Amino acid sequence: MTTFFDRGRMRELESLERLYQNDEFAFAVVYGRRRVGKSALINEFIKRGGKKAIRFIATEYTDAINLQNFSQRVFAAYPQQSKFGGFPTWETAFEYIAEQAAGEKLVLDIDEYPYLAKANPAISSELQKCIDTVFQDTKILLILCGSSMSFMENQVLGYQSPLYGRRAAQYRIEPLDYYDSAEFFGDACPEDKLLGYAVTGGIPQYLKVISKAANVERGIEEAFFTKDGFLYEEPQNLLKQELREPATYNTIIKAIANGSTKMNEIASKIGEKDGKVAIYIKNLIGLGIIEKTAPMFTDTDRGGIYRIKDGMYRFWHRFVPSVTEMIAAGDGGVYEEDVRPFISDFMGPAFEDICMQYMMRMNIKRRLPFRFTRIGRWWGGNPVTKKETEIDVVASSRDGTKIIVGDCKWRNKMMGLNLYDDLKERAALFPGKEINYYMFSRSGFSQELREEAEKDKKLRLICLDDLFKV
């Protein structure tokens, strides 16, 4: 039976399995934002083949309590010394595990490692010592897992960490793309699957919550627009867990959501200096909440703009703040009256992201006119019309001689021949290149445009059903 993991996390599962099958010690680091499915991945990996494992989830308690809880997990697997109570130190605990696991394969998973290190700053040095000595002669697969992105990258993977250079593999677990997210929605229509992806940003926990409802829109309504909804206060809660000064970060995200896309605009909006705002933005980029994008074919990010990358944050800031009073009052008509009429506007930019993900999947499978090495958006001035213009999708070959330009329309209207003519006019801004055209439509294509596509081998028409045929 095919499961979600056979699509969504197969690469990571196969890599972990290779580490496990080696008859030697290995150390892996698994990290990513909260709710992205790190623990579920490790659990699935251990479950497959019935692997022997010690799994420990650190908590925000004292080091003594964490060590006591860890001791209980160790004794559950190796009870020989359980009658003597907990281990006096972490080093003795690790030594005991190494002694008991001699000659057998064992997965030692320490989840929420940043909590452990916060309570005991010396734990990384103690673990490093054991890795270099007692663990080396075992077949243990040690996994450190954490949700604090900055901690895992700096204090575990970073050059200054005692653990630096000892990992065999690292996995930054990313949100799912639209294609793998659709697995959560079963037989739902393509439009609803894409909506479910767009409002969750591909975070498995959010997808699971939305998919439990009778349909996708009901799931969105219950999760975002009820007082006890799982996602009603999620953005603020995540910021409180991950960052200091969450109010400032929230204000920055709000400013970007409301159209401030340049550093000076954001700084002016929140009343802070550019340099200070730059530090906050760097942290938000590290968390995958916002991103800076520049037009294709530019060598630097100068002239780039900031945008909300995370779909859940984008949706929440677009709709929730303006209706919180009505939600608190128990108004049951919020979604129908204040959200649904504007869903198409929200889906426009999300659909562009989806179309790029489709192109990347097709590129990997070599099912495009050529293999591209860069993909993004383009915007800039048109010297003929003297107006600013943009192209939703642009993909380029390595040498830049071949490009694909794409137009993406999420609207209740078929794309017609006039839009193809307009796309060719904009593509003329790239003279001397071999150009292919992709047109993506929520509502299909006119007969005239479909007839043109049959004659024009440079034109391809992609409907919503096609997005799931990759």
85 CB burial (10 A radius; 0-12, 13-18, 19+)? exposed
Residues of the chain with CATH 3.40.1350.10: 354-468
Query: Per-residue pLDDT tens for 85-99?
Result: 789 999 999 999 999
Fold for the domain defined by 211-347: Arc Repressor Mutant, subunit A (1.10.10)
Check: CB of residue 142 under 8 Å from CB of residue 108. Answer: yes
**Does residue 391 register a pLDDT over 60?**
yes
State pTM to two decimals.
0.92
- Decide which of 3.40.1350.10, 1.20.120.1750, 3.20.20.70, 2.40.50.140 is the CATH code for 354-468: 3.40.1350.10
Instruction: List the one residue out of 147, 148, 151, 149 whose CA is nearest residue 163.
Output: 151
- 31 secondary structure, DSSP code: E
Instruction: List the one residue out of 427, 436, 377 whose CA is nearest residue 402.
Output: 436
Mean pLDDT of 358-384: 95
How confident is residue 82, by pLDDT bands cut at 50, 70 and 90? low
Query: Per-residue pLDDT tens for 437-456?
Result: 999 999 999 999 999 999 99
CB atoms within 10 A of CB 401: 11
Cα gap 100→98, rounded to integer Å = 6
Cα gap 231→11, rounded to integer Å = 29
Single-letter code of the amino acid located at 71: S
Contacts of 323 (CB under 8 A, 6+ apart): 225, 331, 334, 338, 339
Check: CB of residue 427 under 8 Å from CB of residue 448. Answer: no
What's the pLDDT at 4?
Answer: 58
Query: Per-residue pLDDT tens for 283-315?
Result: 999 889 999 999 999 887 777 899 999 999 999
| The two structure tokens encoding residue 8 | 């969504």
Angstrom CA distances, 386 to 304, 381, 382, 383, stand at: 20, 7, 5, 5
- Domain 5-172: CATH superfamily, name plus number: P-loop containing nucleotide triphosphate hydrolases (3.40.50.300)
What 3-state class would DSSP assign to 310? coil
Mean pLDDT of 1-12: 68
Q: What would the DSSP string read from start to end of 238-251? A: HHHHH-SSHHHHHH
Residues of the chain with CATH 1.10.10.10: 211-347
- 376 secondary structure, DSSP code: E
- 388 secondary structure, DSSP code: E
What 3-state class would DSSP assign to 118? helix
**Does residue 29 register a pLDDT over 90?**
yes
Mean pLDDT of 314-321: 96
Cα gap 70→58, rounded to integer Å = 8
Query: Per-residue pLDDT tens for 205-257?
Result: 999 999 999 999 999 999 999 999 999 999 999 988 888 889 999 999 999 99
What 3-state class would DSSP assign to 441? strand
Instruction: List the one residue out of 9, 19, 11 whose CA is nearest residue 106.
Output: 19
Phi, psi torsion values for 140, nearest 5 degrees: -75, 135
Residues of the chain with CATH 3.40.50.300: 5-172
CB atoms within 10 A of CB 365: 9
Phi, psi torsion values for 155, nearest 5 degrees: -95, -10
Check: CB of residue 66 under 8 Å from CB of residue 120. Answer: yes
